[in-house]
Structure 1
């Protein structure tokens, strides 16, 4: 029963050890993948940060040029130019569409600007300012288009920047949790299970040694009992043969005076 109980105790422990090893392998692999993901996101984050700095520097010049071009157009064409432009514009020519970029499993929104040729506004704008100030009006239009394009690019970069910032924080939290919490707990559990298995193995070894010693003593007792029984039988035969007492026959038997050579002991 002791051996059966021991096997029932060891089997679940070994199974649990295998499960914990598989969990440790999964945690290690997940930690490595999340670390690579964090590095890739960080590289993209720094690249977007550089683009944002450059776009903001260009944005200042673009807005200044757009403001100066508008002032020049008003100075040359007069204040009535804005009414002429409003009448010639029926729908927006510059439009914005949204797309998504996938960076290490993180979807980053990206905005693109494009000219809508179906609106047919460009042809109407070509005649704006035909009376006077046409060159300045077209220059103002180009400057403002440049400013709008930079605004769209900056909005796309800022949105991607914030999305990447949240993704990097979440990924780093998961990496730190796996590295500092999950993996140490699993490793401690594995160490504890291995210690318990070593202790059970030592108990098994000690139990086997005790059983072997017990069996050896039992065999020695049986051999001694068989020897004593053989001696008693021989003594009884000698006593009947010599007509002496059992003690005298015993003394004669061990003195070697008349021992039967067929006796085993």
Structure 2
């Protein structure tokens, strides 16, 4: 409370109570968001781990097939076979909102839908291992794209989780306690002011009562003196 300066008025108390209510509601919403994001993040991480294992395994298969093909074919023939690609690919990106986090979504579309269009060479002068490698590479490319998508999603969700965690901690450990302390301080000051006002009113009442009693006593004394003077007057005559 030493670092907070507040004006101990009822208007300020009402404002702080509204601020506290809003902060507590925001704290609950942010905690729910953080928990849901963490759940989504863990599911995404598990998906990344499983898909990465598949991609690495298939890339090893592609590498082995290309290694065998390069052993069966000359380097010039292999380079000539793969020099001009036959299939073109169109890649577009959109976004998906997950708990206020815009994660990327990649859309992969080839020029033609026929699987045979991925081979940019004739089959007569090439090795069958090269066909296997090209086909496996075409399949793993889609998984690699999916892996990049979910890895980026996991990264963005991790950043948002960290931001949300900092906001939750700021509300839980700084803003809400300070506001509650300020409210207690104002209530204490207002109670002190009420007690001081009550004491002043009681003192004023006692003073007025004392003055009234003194005035009454003086009036009674004057009346007695006047009555005594009236009784003495006939005897003197």
TM bin, normalised by shorter chain, reads 0.7 to 0.9
> Structure 1 residues 125 and 222 mapped into 2: Cα distance closer, same or farther (>3 Å)?
closer
Which has more radius of gyration? Answer: 1
Cross-structure match for 1:67: 63
CA offset at residue 138 of structure 1? 4.1
Cross-structure match for 2:21: 25
Secondary structure of the residue that 1:129 maps to in structure 2? coil
Cross-structure match for 1:171: 164
Alpha-carbon displacement from aligned partner over 1:228-262 (angstroms, at most 9, x marks no partner)? 11111111110112329xxxxxxxxxxxxxxxxxx
Q: Does 1:192 align with 2:185?
A: yes
5+ residue gaps in structure 1? 1-10, 245-265
> Structure 1 residues 161 and 108 mapped into 2: Cα distance closer, same or farther (>3 Å)?
same
Q: TM-score normalized by structure 1?
A: 0.77
CA distance in 2, matches of 1:39, 1:12: 38
Cross-structure match for 1:254: none
Q: Does 1:83 align with 2:76?
A: no
Q: How does 1:185-264 map to 2 (within 5 A)?
A: 185-243=178-236
Secondary structure of the residue that 2:133 maps to in structure 1? helix
Q: Does 1:113 align with 2:108?
A: yes
CA offset at residue 94 of structure 1? 3.4
Conservation of the 8 A alpha-carbon contact between 1:81 and 1:129:
no
Q: Does 1:104 align with 2:102?
A: no
CA offset at residue 71 of structure 1? 4.1
CA distance in 1, matches of 2:155, 2:135: 30
Conservation of the 8 A alpha-carbon contact between 2:55 and 2:140:
yes
CA distance in 1, matches of 2:206, 2:162: 65
CA distance in 2, matches of 1:25, 1:73: 70
> Structure 1 residues 139 and 98 mapped into 2: Cα distance closer, same or farther (>3 Å)?
same
Conservation of the 8 A alpha-carbon contact between 1:100 and 1:109:
yes
Q: TM-score normalized by structure 2?
A: 0.85
CA distance in 1, matches of 2:60, 2:163: 39
CA distance in 1, matches of 2:218, 2:193: 37
Cross-structure match for 1:263: none
Secondary structure of the residue that 2:124 maps to in structure 1? coil
CA distance in 2, matches of 1:126, 1:227: 128
Alpha-carbon displacement from aligned partner over 1:127-156 (angstroms, at most 9, x marks no partner)? 843425586554333200122112111211
CA distance in 2, matches of 1:146, 1:194: 70
Conservation of the 8 A alpha-carbon contact between 1:95 and 1:113:
yes
Decide which moves more: 144-153 or 77-86: 77-86
Secondary structure of the residue that 2:83 maps to in structure 1? helix
